[in-house]
Structure 1
Amino acid sequence: MKKLYGVIGSPIQHSMSPLIHNDAFLQLGIDAHYHAFHVLPKDLEAAVVGLKALGVAGFNVTIPHKKAIIPLLDEVDNTALKIGAVNTVVNENGKWTGYNTDGPGYVAALKQITATENKHILIIGAGGAARAILYSLVKEPGAKVDIFNRTPEKAQHLIEEFSLQGTSRAVTMAEVVGNMPNYDVIVQTTSVGMHPHIEDSPVQIATLKKNAIVSDIIYNPLETDLLKQAKLKGAITQNGVQMFVYQAALAFQYWTNRVPDVHRMEKIVTERLGGTTC
């Protein structure tokens, strides 16, 4: 019998998850189907019960349900609890178990372009994506992470919550500008620069050092203004497509114990967004 997987969120109609997961099932000869389910916040509890009743084998969770779903699950992985968000749910012998693949997926994507040990890193933003990425990045040996947020108190709270006072700092815009030549990696986690506001940029990078890594988790547009400016400075840039596909690949592995072709996933997403791949 064909297994059913999916993603729940609101809005959900533009999700590219069905494209990459259904293609991966086909490529690996797995008899399964992945479907996007539009679930409003008021219907979340009923949806979780209904998905279990239907015998759904697993599903992804996206905005606005990543936090709200936690108390509705039978078990939650420790990483997801620390991050405070679940983006992947697995049906484990009739029990819903929640995981978070956003942070590990981001680090896996970053490792495609650079080693992550002993890096001085700037994270821009202190929201849900920043939480997941910070939690995973600080596990890398020798990582030193600064956080810039428009509300400095929110960045400081995040540092204290994760007990990172010895390795992380909440920095002001002036400190970001002053420290810019020292950063090895800059990670942009906010919505600044996303379509339709494609001319916006969260920070100025005039003194960015050559060969720094600038990573923006936005993938619409494929190249934000921040990435354009970084490229002009000689930086190595990465958009959000790789994070998207690596977190998806980890979810796929949780469900099937099979490893999908991540590069094929990346090609599908990039081409759908109007870009080209090598």
Structure 2
Amino acid sequence: MANRAAVLGSPITHSLSPVLHRAAYAAMGLEGWSYGAFECAEDGLAGFLDGLDGTWAGLSLTMPLKRAALGLVDVVSDLAVAVGGANTIVLRDGARHGDNTDVSGIVTALAEAGLRAPASALVLGGGATAASALAALSRLGLQEATLAVRDPSRAGETAEVGERFGLKVHVDVLERVPQLATAELVVSTLPGGAADAFAAPVAASGAALFDVVYAPWPTALAAAVERVGGTVVGGFAMLLHQAVRQVALMTGRDDVPVEAMRAAGEAELRRRASA
């Protein structure tokens, strides 16, 4: 019986995925299911996949594996192709099925906070998460967005993702965030601390914020927006809801216990913060 799953990536030590998935298995009564974490660089993914046997149900993939996975699966969803990365591999009927749950995770996290249809958006950063954010914004009904990056010459691939989803993407530089932060929603896909310099202008703009960082939390950017009463969505909400979708895909069940997973994840974050 296929009842093994894991998260792969590098670095992987502090991944919260095992806590979330194991909490789901326990609440769903899935005895015998296990979920591990394996350090795996991009050049090791093919070998890891080749070594899996029939006891495996699926894998969660984090950086730097999402793009590499597209060429190593047998079937890939249209969404994963369009976004340019698969964060999920489901092992079913002898085949590897690649999918992307990051987009639905972002959409659900924003909707949960009441951000169902922002009128405009500014996305900070140009990596894989920014690509998923652009896809999510298109699902929320936006027709255009601004992408602020360090080097516009390297943002073409991410901008193309937005355009594949029908977005008109304006590429600008991070130095101009104080002038660009007039959007209704600011999405920061920058790593922890990298967006601190933009805390004051984003807070002053009155924009809602989605910051993909979840630890340490709050970031200086999130704290600044919270102080002025703005809506803030943290990266934990995205991580939670993309994991909910992964559990459903890997187990074939729709009764995924969101609140049990949320409670387990929040408890683990509190434990780590106090350690």
TM-score band w.r.t. shorter chain: 0.7 to 0.9
Distance (whole Å) between structure 1 residues aligned to residue 233 and residue 271 of structure 2? 14
Report the CA distance between 1:27 and its aligned residue: 0.6
Please tell me the residue identity of whatever aligns with 1:4. Answer: R
The change in CA–CA distance for 1:161 and 1:28 in structure 2 (over 3 A counts) is closer
Distance (whole Å) between structure 1 residues aligned to residue 67 and residue 119 of structure 2? 30
Instruction: Indicate the residue corresponding to 1:120 in structure 2.
Output: 120
Q: Verify: 1:217 aligned to 2:218, yes or no.
A: no
Instruction: Indicate the residue corresponding to 1:8 in structure 2.
Output: 8
Distance (whole Å) between structure 1 residues aligned to residue 229 and residue 49 of structure 2? 47
Instruction: Indicate the residue corresponding to 1:58 in structure 2.
Output: 58
The change in CA–CA distance for 1:244 and 1:175 in structure 2 (over 3 A counts) is same
Please tell me the residue identity of whatever aligns with 1:265. Answer: M
Report the CA distance between 1:2 and its aligned residue: 6.6
Instruction: Indicate the residue corresponding to 2:221 in structure 1.
Output: 226
Distance (whole Å) between structure 1 residues aligned to residue 188 and residue 153 of structure 2? 18
Cα distance per residue 1:122-171 (max 9 Å; x no partner): 11011111011111211322453111111123345533454378633123
Report the CA distance between 1:173 and its aligned residue: 4.6
Distance (whole Å) between structure 2 residues aligned to residue 77 and residue 97 of structure 1? 8
The change in CA–CA distance for 1:179 and 1:97 in structure 2 (over 3 A counts) is same
Distance (whole Å) between structure 2 residues aligned to residue 254 and residue 267 of structure 1? 21
Cα distance per residue 1:64-90 (max 9 Å; x no partner): 211112211111111111111111111
Moved more, 160-169 or 7-16: 160-169
Moved more, 237-246 or 147-156: 147-156
Contact kept, 8 Å, 2:7 with 2:61, in 1: the verdict is yes
Contact kept, 8 Å, 2:148 with 2:174, in 1: the verdict is yes
Report the CA distance between 1:46 and its aligned residue: 1.5
Q: TM-score, normalised by structure 1?
A: 0.87
Report the CA distance between 1:216 and its aligned residue: 0.6
Please tell me the residue identity of whatever aligns with 1:34. Answer: Y
Instruction: Indicate the residue corresponding to 2:26 in structure 1.
Output: 26
SS at match of 1:244: helix
SS at match of 1:126: coil
Instruction: Indicate the residue corresponding to 1:268 in structure 2.
Output: 264
How does 1:187-226 map onto structure 2 within 5 Å? 187-193=187-193, 201-206=196-201, 208=203, 212-226=207-221
Distance (whole Å) between structure 1 residues aligned to residue 158 and residue 203 of structure 2? 25
Contact kept, 8 Å, 2:203 with 2:228, in 1: the verdict is yes
SS at match of 1:13: coil
Distance (whole Å) between structure 1 residues aligned to residue 219 and residue 183 of structure 2? 19
Report the CA distance between 1:264 and its aligned residue: 2.5
Contact kept, 8 Å, 1:209 with 1:235, in 2: the verdict is no
Contact kept, 8 Å, 2:183 with 2:207, in 1: the verdict is yes
Instruction: Indicate the residue corresponding to 1:69 in structure 2.
Output: 69
Instruction: Indicate the residue corresponding to 2:140 in structure 1.
Output: 140
Distance (whole Å) between structure 1 residues aligned to residue 46 and residue 169 of structure 2? 37
Q: Which one of the candidate residues 218, 226, 243 is aligned to 2:238?
A: 243
Contact kept, 8 Å, 1:18 with 1:36, in 2: the verdict is yes
Q: Bigger relative contact order, structure 1 or 2, given CA contacts below 8 A and separation 6+?
A: 2
Which structure's residues are more often helix, by fraction?
2
Q: TM-score, normalised by structure 2?
A: 0.87
Distance (whole Å) between structure 1 residues aligned to residue 160 and residue 2 of structure 2? 46
Moved more, 218-227 or 60-69: 60-69
SS at match of 2:147: strand
Moved more, 31-40 or 238-247: 31-40
Distance (whole Å) between structure 2 residues aligned to residue 220 and residue 96 of structure 1? 32
What is the total number of aligned residue pairs between the two structures?
269
How does 1:162-201 map onto structure 2 within 5 Å? 162-163=162-163, 167-173=168-174, 175-180=176-181, 182-193=182-193, 201=196
Moved more, 158-167 or 247-256: 158-167
Structure 2 unaligned regions, length at least 5: none
What fraction of aligned residue pairs are identical, expressed as a percent? 26
